[in-house]
Structure 1
Amino acid sequence: MTIGFNPKFIRAFTDIHKEGTLELLLVDPEFQALFKLSDDYLYVVAPLKLK
């Protein structure tokens, strides 16, 4: 499975949250990924179409 993300969105998330454990929840390359720091904070990122 190959999934591409716009690095600007990943950087925006990691610049704000520098502590804790990051979980990256993936289901399928056609669907959004869920970045999870805790039950209180979730961040949804849509994948890019790779050719």
Structure 2
Amino acid sequence: FKKDGKAGKIATVGYTGMLEIIEPTTLNELLQKGIGPAKAFGCGLLLVRRI
């Protein structure tokens, strides 16, 4: 992508771990909307599964 005529770069990272859900409503919103400013570029996905 370009911003102000300059090529931009997006760095991605992956995390693995366990979490305890304290606010289910907030988690549901994040799962639906994604997180971070690079969602339009395919970033911001949360993949959560029950164990």
Q: Give the TM-score category using the shorter length.
A: under 0.3
Question: Taking structure 2 as the reference length, what is the TM-score of the superposition?
Answer: 0.26
Q: Which of the two has greater helix per residue?
A: 2
Q: Which has the larger radius of gyration?
A: 2
Higher strand share: 1
TM-score, normalising length: structure 1: 0.26
